Chains A and B, each alone.
Chain A
Amino acid sequence: MVGTGSSRPRIGVPRSILHYEFDGAIERFLRRLGMDVVLSPPTNHGIFQAGKRVVIDELCFPIKIFVGHVAHLAEQDVDRIVVPTVVGHTNNHVFPCHPRSRLADIVRALGVCDTEQLLAPAFRFDRDGLTADGFRELARTLGFTDAEADRALPERRVKLDRALEARQAGDGLTLALIGHPYVVDDPWANNQVIRRLERLGCRVVTNLETTPIGYAPEGTGLHFALAARTVTLARTFDREPEVDGIVFLLPFNCGPDGDIARHLTQITEKPMLTLVLDELQSSAGMITRLEAFIDLLSCSSIPVGGRAA
């Protein structure tokens, strides 16, 4: 801990979008600076409703969840709330989608919290995650020097500590889950899809359990960073002999992933199930679709995943 602040202001960090996307880097940084960090609770129905009440209908599902987290924090006893602005990749070839790069503007325009409460540092990212500039800007806003910020910088690396081979062996199918980190890693947003698949006897692998692809990989020719990441993940899992099928989580009205949804089915050979996640999702409908997909994979005479089912 390097912080020298005497009053230790309470800083709210929404547990949504960028928190999942950058593996909690901003929260860890603030804690290392000595801030009293209030992380919003895991997404629940109340948080989502708080966001849905104020956000316009056309914005995507994750933005509604994010605004709900900010609204929740605004009701807590916090001095500031971090709503970062992601302005793009250092290579200037891939970009965040527009709503994600406008999170702070949307929150301010909707009046979810006091404008004075908002901390909106501008972050850039590269292959390994967020670069130092945004952290320094955040630290300066809180009265720290660049040197103090540099000492508190979190490790700039997407967590990739588990290998596919290390998974527990079993007889069930192995399904790869692809999609944006804030959908794959948020159990409420994805309607507990991992737990449901495991209950159906499947093993589920996500980006944490495969060859490192880094953040916003290059070479896909795509404009949006997370769409490029999703395509790279799909290709990676498609080559993985252990994987029998791919489940693609597509949040409602997500532009970048909507663009690649059909593209994905054509560039992969393995069976793919696309699940659209929205505020009206029903457990029954999702379970039926998952069961049907698993039945299809189990009964298929076509060899999948390198072995006959």
Chain B
Amino acid sequence: MNHFTFSWGTNYIAVRGLLRTLGHDLATPPRIGPAIAERGIACAHPFLCFSGKLVLGQLAAQLEDGERRLAFMSSLGPEACRCADTSDYLRTLFSNHEGFSAHRLGGGSLTGALANLRSHFGPQIRKRQCFKAYAVFYGKVDLLYKVDKRCTRLRCLSSAPKQVRELEREALERIDRAPGPLALWRVSRWFDRVAARLPLREEPPSLRIGIVGGEHILSELDSVMAVIKTAAERGVLLDWRSGFRMLARSTEKALAPLKATCRDYLHEAPSTSEIFSCAHALDFVSEGYDGLLHIYAFGCMPQTALKPVLQRIASDAEMPLLSLAIGDRFAEEGLEGRLEAFIDLLDTRKNEGDPQCTNLPGLESMSDRSRARFSSSTRARRSLPRRTGERAAASSTRSRKASARWLRPSEAATSSAARRPEAHGGSSVHWSAPMW
């Protein structure tokens, strides 16, 4: 029996894996684009967040194509936002489509997940089937995240971005086709082998930007994040540590260290999106990233509530912050323009000794003392001799080795033991825990 759903980037591949394990299938959601956005805007209340409008746009398009059985993933826990109460809401919204039904998957625990599957597919679903279906789901979620992160990293570090895009496309197809955990493990090994063979650029990343924001935006591939990722091909190392995977895997145990990290800025409250973003922003600050990028859908309640907190973090750390609210009037050109301006600002701040850069907008909040400190450090950098001849060649070799080192976090993901942090360019490099 065919179902349909909305997509948070590639999460539908994981949902499809779950359904296929149970003998069902899932239609591929339409790609996010202006037509889908317009459709969503037309059928949603103006106060609904932009991500919600995209979701509704995708659902409306599929309903018009004749799909009727909606299956969506939500634990209905505190991390759930509006998507948690979509059942009744969607039934009302799409009541004019005869035969429409909405079914929630997930459940926060194996018992809850089993109850949801049984209410949808019938009491014949056994605990073992449920366990296997969710093993496939979580396996695909993890692998999709790994592929997305590593390919974004490779776009910055590899000299063959076209091959990276091909690799990503093929990896997604293989993950979608993989029927079980063993097949997924094989896909993971294949991906690691091919990724390790890609040629690397000679230069290390010019900048490092930490990205925080709404999980549904960070997981997205076709529109907003596609534009953001173009920065990687210009030599900027982009890093984000949240996304659909974090929500799917969030437990109290996993959240505890993150809550501890952001204790100075956030009180205990039953939400996860703010905790992810705040904790990751603080991590990026402590790891010496060059700037913070906050991306969220206009109207997103968790991220809007967090925005003043992030501004405070950036102000305290004297780190440039760009907040991008993606709304109904979102245009890729505008996004590109703002992103380019931000990268230029960071580049100037990092590389040039021009005293004028202390007057740049991102530095207005600096105290006099830190302004002086910043100016003296840029003066010191300016006095360094330029690289020429043999010295430049030696430096180039070192840079190439440095480029390779940036890939190690992902390589670490394939080994059983996580590697230790190392210094690079005066700041520590984050080494992710094994993802697979």
Contacts and interface: CB of A to CB of B under 8 A. Distances in A.
Contacts of A102: 266-267, 269, 271, 274, 305-306, 309
B309 A255 contact: no
A255 B47 contact: yes
A260 B85 CA distance: 10
Contact of A101 (B81, B93, B269): B269
Given A58-B304, A88-B78, A255-B82, A260 B89 contact: yes
Contacts of A252: 47
A224 B84 CA distance: 10
Interface stretch (B251-259, B295-303, B345-353, B390-398): B295-303
Contacts of A70: none
Contacts of B306: 102
Contact of B78 (A56, A95, A220, A260): A95
A140 to B, nearest CB: 16
B265 A254 contact: no
A172 interface: no
A109 B312 contact: yes
A98 B88 contact: no
B76 interface: yes
B interface, size bucket: 35 or more
A305 to B, nearest CB: 24
A223 B311 contact: no
A223 B84 contact: yes
Contacts of A261: 45, 47
Contact of B304 (A56, A85, A256): A56
B95 A263 contact: no
Interface in A247-292: 250, 252-263, 266-267
Contacts of B92: 262-263, 266-267
A148 B89 CA distance: 45
A205 interface: no
Contacts of B274: 98, 102
A59 B305 CA distance: 7
B270 A87 contact: yes
Interface in B263-308: 265-271, 274, 298-299, 301-302, 304-308
Contacts of B265: 105, 108-109
Nearest to B267: A85
A58 B47 CA distance: 11
A59 B267 contact: no
Contacts of A111: 312
A87 B270 CA distance: 6
A110 B308 contact: yes
B87 interface: yes
Contact of B301 (A88, A106, A255): A255
A56 B307 contact: yes
B112 interface: no
A42 B92 CA distance: 38
A170 interface: no
B270 A266 contact: no
Interface string A51-91: 00001101100000000000000000000000001011000
A263 B268 contact: no
A105 B267 contact: yes
Contact of B47 (A56, A92, A98, A258): A258
A234 to B, nearest CB: 13
A153 interface: no
A258 B271 contact: no
B48 A258 contact: yes
B80 A262 contact: no
A222 B84 CA distance: 8
Most chain B CB inside 10 Å of its own CB: which residue of A58, A224, A227: A58
Nearest 4 CB-CB pairings of A with B: A258-B47, A109-B312, A98-B301, A109-B308
Interface of A: 55-56, 58-59, 85, 87-88, 92-93, 95, 97-99, 101-102, 104-106, 108-111, 120, 122, 220-224, 227, 250, 252-263, 266-267
Interface of B: 45-49, 52, 76-78, 80-82, 84-85, 87-89, 92-93, 95, 265-271, 274, 298-299, 301-302, 304-309, 311-312, 325
17 contacts: A56-B307, A58-B299, A85-B269, A95-B271, A97-B301, A101-B271, A102-B267, A105-B267, A105-B269, A120-B267, A122-B267, A222-B88, A255-B82, A259-B52, A262-B93, A263-B89, A266-B92
Given A99-B301, A255-B82, 19 more contacts: A58-B299, A58-B307, A85-B268, A92-B77, A98-B271, A98-B305, A102-B271, A110-B308, A111-B312, A120-B267, A223-B81, A223-B85, A255-B48, A258-B46, A258-B47, A259-B82, A259-B85, A260-B89, A266-B95
